[in-house]
Structure 1
Amino acid sequence: MRRPETDRPETGAKAASPRPTVAILDFGSQYTQLIARRVRESRVYCEIFAHDVTPAELRARNVIGVILSGGPASVYDEGAPGVDPGVISGEFPVLGICYGMQLMAHVLGGDVVGEGKREYGPATVKIADRAGIFEGLSTEERAWVSHGDTVRRPPDGFTVIASTTSVPVAAMTDGRSRYAVQFHPEVAHTPHGAEILRNFLYRVCGATGDWTPAAFVEEAVR
């Protein structure tokens, strides 16, 4: 059941803005606000939306990219938060993080499996393709993982671009504008996570990086 507008996170229910916007879909992650902070630190405007936002609502907000947050659920849980398939079908650039990656794979026809216990802590990510979101990074990067389920097989049309010793599919892409990672680039325990987010914002979404909080305040008081 869709939440009433008054219960939707942050500013996603406000009047439409012509400003290019990155939408962060909230799946209950403790890091959702941190993702927003990292995006804004990259001088890109973003808003947090309920996970069941529609493509039409995103178009009305002039959304140039979508980030799917992590979350505590399994895609197989009864009542697990879902996503409108149209949001991740390719119309918008997408970056799925942790649960967001699992949900992308599940909805798009990949194979997601439950491991029975959660993996939590640092991991070494081996990067197979240093393009797109991994542009400028090393072949091995430290990252923070916190998950129960994992993607065993990516959806058709997606390729594996990173792995760890315990997670064969640690990142995947369709080679165009849809990416997903099993780790958390937004946290400080992923040393080069900010670069991954900036690569998504600038290289994939085409953000210009000219937004500032001061400009937002100035517009709000006009």
Structure 2
Amino acid sequence: MRPFLFLSARPEVEAVGPEYESVRRAMGVDASRLEHLRLDVETLGDLRLDEYAGVVVGGSPYNVTTPDAHKHPVQRRVEADLARLAEAALDVDHPLVLTCYGIGVLTRVLGGTVGTLHGEAASAVEITLTAECVADPLMGVLPERFDALVGHKEATERLPADAVLLASSAGCPVQVYRVGRRIYATQFHPEVSTHDFVARAQVYRHHGYFPAGELRAVSERLAAASVTEPQRMLRRFVELADT
């Protein structure tokens, strides 16, 4: 069986390993089937998509809405690599999931709009599936409403023309969409448990996702949340990519 590829873009080294493990556990694969490339460290290069059953892109503190003149050269390279990946996957409808930061890159590639109107502080929010989601092979296995973990400063404000909206929340109208048959973008984090997210909040407590002085209160709220469904997305992604 072909391996999967996980692409991370977190410069904070203490967050890299835990994110990989969260994705691997949620996918239900062992380390031998999930290769890992840190885009903040090395370039994507000449990626052969056909060598992988599917690709998952993780989150990042980077924001696509940051003016280009203020973006670090590494961020500009990461975004160029992710845009190139998205375009290649779109050409052949290759299984791909882009999470959080990745949805912003894909939205721009497709001609949609990303802005800061619908940012959400680090928290658990209720996700509502759309009517179009019922027949979707990946998202259709989830209940109509469930809680997911979010923490982002930007979001899709205008859905790309060819995208199918699959899920929303009260504060963020575009939480998940699909392009083609097998390319998905999600604003919330499908990989993390509440324990994982509490640990991530500690790493990013000074990044503006919540007031740093409220770390303890935020951590307690996150730990008390019931988040059971989102990880099923990545396990289902593996099932579909392997068929």
TM-score in terms of structure 1 length: 0.75
Distance change >3 Å, CA 151–CA 117, structure 1 → 2 = closer
Task: Please tell me whether residue 24 in structure 1 is matched to residue 13 in structure 2.
Answer: no
Q: How does 1:28-177 map to 2 (within 5 A)?
A: 28=10, 30=15, 32-38=19-25, 41-42=28-29, 45-51=33-39, 52-54=43-45, 56-59=46-49, 62-77=51-66, 78-79=71-72, 80=75, 81-82=78-79, 83-89=81-87, 90=90, 91=92, 92-115=94-117, 119-128=121-130, 129-130=133-134, 131-177=136-182
Distance change >3 Å, CA 164–CA 116, structure 1 → 2 = closer
Letter in 1 for 2:233: I
RMSD value, Cα: 2.3
TM-score in terms of structure 2 length: 0.69
How far apart are residue 160 of structure 1 and its match? Answer: 1.0
CA contact (8 A) 2:116 2:153 kept: yes
Q: Stretches of 4+ moved more than 4 A in 1?
A: none
Q: Give the match for residue 235 of structure 2.
A: 198
How far apart are residue 146 of structure 1 and its match? Answer: 0.9
Distance 2:230 2:147 in 1: 9
Q: Deviations over 1:44-65 (max 9, x none)?
A: 81111133414x33348x1121
Larger proportion of helix: 2
How far apart are residue 86 of structure 1 and its match? Answer: 3.5
Distance 2:24 2:118 in 1: 32
Q: Give the match for residue 215 of structure 1.
A: none
Identity over aligned pairs, percent: 22
Task: Specify every segment of 5 or more residues in structure 2 that has no aligned partner in the other structure, as ranges.
Answer: 195-226
Task: Specify every segment of 5 or more residues in structure 1 that has no aligned partner in the other structure, as ranges.
Answer: 1-18, 208-222
Larger proportion of strand: 1
Other structure's SS at 2:191 match:
coil
CA contact (8 A) 2:150 2:188 kept: yes
The count of residues paired between Structure 1 and Structure 2 equals 186
